Structure 1
Amino acid sequence: MSARRFVPIADWVRVYGRPMRVAILERRSKDDPDTKSLQVQHDTCLRWLNSLPAGSWSCDLRLAEDGGDVYRQIVSAWRGKGNHRLLRQIMARLTEYDVVVVYRIDRFGRNVVTVLTTLDQMREAGVRLYSVEENLDTADPSQQFNSQLFAMLAQHSSDLLGTADGLVDI
């Protein structure tokens, strides 16, 4: 994928002549009752993928630990820099993907520096992030400000939650 030319996801097959390779990231906090369940996240991401033209994407729907492309984790709040295990796993396999699909940006990460740094590394590798709930495609130049804004909102929410117990969700 060209880093300079934006191609809408729906046009992927027509432009590149092959299905886009997809990873799905699903995370929820065991300490946050407002976090959507992993099943809700999974179903929402699959519904979005299935709304795309037939044959336009491929994803091994097995969990990553079983060799698939679905990265799933339940996490506790902790003091950290936002480099969560799933993000490291996806980054290690980044060349295998064209797009990483996530339910919401705050499920991708809650540390603004880590999120923006990771998005920059993904962009350099030609991989985009698509957030289903926010309808946000980080490859779209017109949405890059929004991706930064959502990253800041995710950290702000985490910081507010962390002030009550001294912990910060990753």
Structure 2
Amino acid sequence: IVDRGGVLMIFGDFGQPENAKYELIFLVLSIVSHAPTITAFSLHSISSLKEHRKSLISNRSLRMTNQMLEIFHLQLKGVILHVFIPVLIFVMVNLLDTRLLFSDAIHASIRFVSTMLFITNPFQFSLVYIVKTSRYRKLATRIRSDWVGRNSHTNASDPTLPACSDSHR
């Protein structure tokens, strides 16, 4: 990646963006048009949950409301890490000439890290639900143990594979 020659994150040499400027304009316009609605709905949901939490009598209802607020906060942190920061890096590095600030190796590292963060965005949303909800956590554990148990039995019945003692299962 370092020897490739371009200094912009995605589109090649600085000052020659070709069609990329239209893609960048479209990206910024879509963020500007969608972000306020999503932000307003999220803030309204959080404020509604906080108001609802004040009137709860049952400990179970209070715990569930607190858990939903915690999930909202985790998702917000995930969006900041996996969407906002990578898109901000892509936009800033495409708008500003950073050849004097960073070496080629640092450009390659920034491109790699921000791309990996952006690619893993869908995974973090589902992981929040699995990690924070005990029912899904138990289901994931059961599926994993069933899968491991099924695979260990098939390995034991296959004479071509090495045998595994019970202490390693």
Structure 1 length as normaliser, TM-score?
0.24
Larger radius of gyration: 2
If each structure's strand is expressed as a fraction of its own residues, which one has the higher value? Answer: 1
If each structure's helix is expressed as a fraction of its own residues, which one has the higher value? Answer: 2
